[in-house]
Structure 1
Amino acid sequence: MKKDSRQLRVGVLGCGPIAQFAHFESAVKASNCRLYAICDAAEDLARRMGATYEPDKIYLDYDQMLADPELEAVIIATSDAFHVPASIKALEAGKHVLCEKPIGLSVEEVETLQAVVERTGKVLQIGHMKRFDHGIEAAKRFIDRDMGERLALKAWYCDSTHRYTMTDAVQPLPILSKAALKPKENPKADLKRYYMLAHGCHLVDLARYLCGEITWVRARLLERFGAYSWFVETEFADGSLGHLDLTVAVRMDWHEGFQLYGQNGSVTAKTFNPWYFRSSEVEIFDERTATYHRPLGADGHFYRRQLEGFARVILDGAPMQGADIADGLASVKAMAAIARSAESGDKIFVADIRGAV
């Protein structure tokens, strides 16, 4: 594990499961980052994670971590309700931010955050790690360079009833604390909203990453035997069509992927449960040569790769590959539009949307 001579000094806010499963290891393994600090209000959890991952500093107070002049960037790995206020605090303190998805819960709070990003000039990247999936990266290159005009996208994200049986077999046992901070409202009290925010944000961001802005949506939602299924008709700014399928949970294995049809070829992809750290299986068909191309994607640690990409933007001035604040706002608007359309049955224009998801 070779480290670069210049490493971004990163602090992680939150020592819960997502930090344990993804972000601590990413900061330790990333070639251009250093796990400089960790912070959690639960002292028992912070001390235990500190003993395991050995950061330079352990903080129990977020403001104290942000006041550290050596800290350069923060990974926000907290509950969704804390994303915007924690991001604003970090930006105001002069720190760059990599924040877990979704970036916010309403259009208005994300717009408030956007204003702070623009005023401070700091980098804010959202944790849509699928943009750093090697197979999806290869698909994106073909789409942008060689596919020509896009015709239509079909994309699906279907969580599985067997998801936790499978992930419990491969993930470490999460360390929890009774002193952990929790949002005032239980995010799972409204499952429709929770599933859209937790899972729909991935589907929406992938669609936008591959095909550009979503101009309008028309959605239907069916709830049956404890499952929720959204079928969403979309149109993109270039006039291409889309169909998004968000189903939680299917009675089968994890089912995620997309098909994209274009002028000079097509792409099909199968994406795996993220905790297998396995790149998507992608087949690219090039009509001009009548050949298929299938990248191996040997490096499937997209959480580490997204952190390295974040650091390159800050340290090297590299272009942003990850989702920025404009992407985050567009995703929140699209999710809110899907929710409104599912209630009314109407076509909803994304640009017109206000309010919460």
Structure 2
Amino acid sequence: MPMKQDRRLRVGVLGCGPIAQAAHFESCTKAHNADLYAICDVADDLRARMAATYAPQKSFADYDAMLADPDLEAVIIATSDPFHVPAAIRALGAGKHVLCEKPVATSVEAVEELKAAVVKSGLVLQVGHMKRFDPGLQAARDFIDDGMGALVALKAWYCDSTHRYPMTDAVQPLMVTSKAAKKPSVDPKSNLDRYYMLAHGSHLVDTARYFGGDLVAVDARQSQRGGMRCWFVDVEFANSVLGHLDLTVAVRMDWHEGFQIYGENGSILGKTFNPWYYKSSEVDIFHESEGGSRRVLGADGHFYRRQLEGFADVILDGAPMRGADIDDGIASVRAMVAIAESVRSGKPVHLDEVSGEV
């Protein structure tokens, strides 16, 4: 791992649940420009276990007490989705920068309320779409920006696998749980259409936008058969690029995620792996002028650590935002709401016409 810098962002993690244990605690300890300064969770037993494991400087049971600490500079919000917006607004109000897990919100109104708080604060808010820090995806984006010429069409797919848990259980740390953990009033998995769209569809939508730019309309269909849920979504980009998205949970095969992009001067074919393997996407970039393809090795595939380092670079050094900002968060939520509405209505839906929850 890279050596720690002398000046490092002091980060507090809100929530000691699975995503913090699998990704954010380790990212803070490994990042060259950030430290795990504090952790916060209402569950005393869980918080004590994580403090003993990851050794933050401070540990808090009360979120407002953590936010009141003058040495804390930024917060990673690693809670359940319904808690994201209230927690982010409180952090911004306390003068702390925010890296918030995706999806940043579950409704259009909530994410627009959060944008108002971001603008008022003048602080940095980055949405945790960590795939933007996959070196393979970054190489593809670089070719789109400088070499591909006019973008013509994009296809992307995110197909969870029935075998994902044996895969992830083998590589993730054993998750520590607590009966005292704070949970949403409604079980997120009580509506699987909504749960899968928020958990997985948010990745697919953001990847499409990362490559193709702003989405303006979607035309979605969904099928449920054989215990599988499948969304096929035709998308319209603002630049007139054609697109097609496939979200399927869960395929009877290996994890199946990737993209194909066609352009004036070349094409891109990408295969993305289960994120917990921390393996960069295999991306073949075909240059028409050379009649051949190139592939970036992408040896550093720790997307979560890389996204934290990018977040810290913006705050500490004024670097350009390479991650997803609040406008990307708004666009992602609007797209997911539009997809759900298109499935219900059987008609195309424009993103600027939607409101309400996913």
Whether TM exceeds 0.5 here: the answer is yes
Superposed CA deviations along residues 113-165 of structure 1, whole A, max 9, x for unmatched, are 00000000010000000000010000000011111111100100000000001
**Separation in structure 2 between the aligned mates of residue 276 and residue 141 of structure 1, nearest angstrom:** 24
Is 1:335 aligned to residue 336 of structure 2?
yes
**Separation in structure 1 between the aligned mates of residue 106 and residue 173 of structure 2, nearest angstrom:** 29
Match of 1:314 in 2: 315
Letter paired with 1:213 = D
Match of 1:50 in 2: 51
The equivalences for 1:1-357 within 5 A come to 1=1, 2-357=3-358
The Cα shift of 1:259 comes to 0.1
Letter paired with 2:7 = R
**Separation in structure 1 between the aligned mates of residue 108 and residue 345 of structure 2, nearest angstrom:** 19
Q: Which runs of 4+ in 1 moved over 2 A?
A: none
**Separation in structure 1 between the aligned mates of residue 231 and residue 102 of structure 2, nearest angstrom:** 20
Superposed CA deviations along residues 271-320 of structure 1, whole A, max 9, x for unmatched, are 00000000000000011222211000000100000000000000000000
Superposed CA deviations along residues 296-347 of structure 1, whole A, max 9, x for unmatched, are 0000100000000000000000000100000000000000000000111101
Note the aligned Cα RMSD (angstroms): 0.5
**Separation in structure 1 between the aligned mates of residue 350 and residue 334 of structure 2, nearest angstrom:** 9
What SS does the corresponding residue of 1:23 show, helix, strand or coil? helix
The Cα shift of 1:170 comes to 1.1
TM-score (structure 1 length as normaliser) = 0.99
Give the gaps of 5 or more residues in structure 1.
Answer: none
Equivalenced residues, count: 357
**Separation in structure 2 between the aligned mates of residue 225 and residue 259 of structure 1, nearest angstrom:** 27
Letter paired with 1:272 = F
What SS does the corresponding residue of 1:217 show, helix, strand or coil? strand
Give the gaps of 5 or more residues in structure 2.
Answer: none
**Separation in structure 1 between the aligned mates of residue 224 and residue 122 of structure 2, nearest angstrom:** 44
Letter paired with 1:236 = F
TM-score (structure 2 length as normaliser) = 0.99
Letter paired with 2:29 = V
The Cα shift of 1:226 comes to 1.6
